[in-house]
Structure formats: C-alpha cells, structure tokens
C-alpha cells in the first residue's frame, strides 16, 4: 500500500533491503510499484518510523487501481 515509504525505509536497513529485493525479484519479476494517490494523501509517509496504522490515518481513500508499475 505504501511502496514509496517502504523503499525509503528499506534503503536505510540492510536486512529490510534484502527482503525487499527478494520480493521484488522473486514475486514481482523485478517490477516496482508506485501509489502516488496514497502518497499525496498521507503526510506520515515522510516519517522514518511509524506503524502501518499510523501511515493509514492520513489516507482518505485507497483504490487498487491507483497502484501502478514504477517507471
């Protein structure tokens, strides 16, 4: 739901980055995703810490078709 936030956090944590790389490569065939709609709705995405619930507080609407392949 928060790919931009997850990439930012994974960039600062080697274990999380290894997990991210594995999922991206093995499950998604190397594709990455973006969700600009959710990122624009939540100010909490810029915070380096926080739970998923905290991130969700600022999101008014979430639609699956807002998730797109990162270019």
Residues 6+ apart with CB under 8 A from 39: 2, 4, 5, 45
Span 29-51, pLDDT tens digits: 999 888 777 776 665 555 545 66
Domain range for residue 24?
3-69
Looking at the structure of the chain, the number of domains it has is 1
Task: Convert the pLDDT of each residue in 48-70 to its tens digit.
Answer: 456 667 667 667 777 777 777 88
Residues 24, 64: contact at Cβ < 8 Å? no
Q: Give the predicted TM-score (pTM) of the model.
A: 0.61
Check residue 46 and give its pLDDT.
Answer: 57
For 5-32, how does the pLDDT look when each residue is reduced to its tens digit (9 = 90+)? 788 888 889 999 999 899 899 998 999 8
Task: Using alpha carbons, select from 41, 42, 29, 40 the residue that is nearest to residue 70.
Answer: 29
At 16 the three-state DSSP class reads helix
């Amino acid at each position: 739901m928060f790919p931009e936030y997850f990439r930012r956090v994974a960039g600062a944590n080697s274990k999380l980055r290894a997990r991210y790389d594995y999922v991206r490569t093995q499950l998604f065939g190397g594709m990455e995703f973006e969700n600009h709609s959710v990122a624009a709705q939540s100010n909490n995405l810029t915070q380096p810490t926080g739970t998923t619930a905290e991130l969700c507080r600022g999101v008014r609407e979430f639609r699956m078709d807002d998730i797109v392949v990162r270019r």
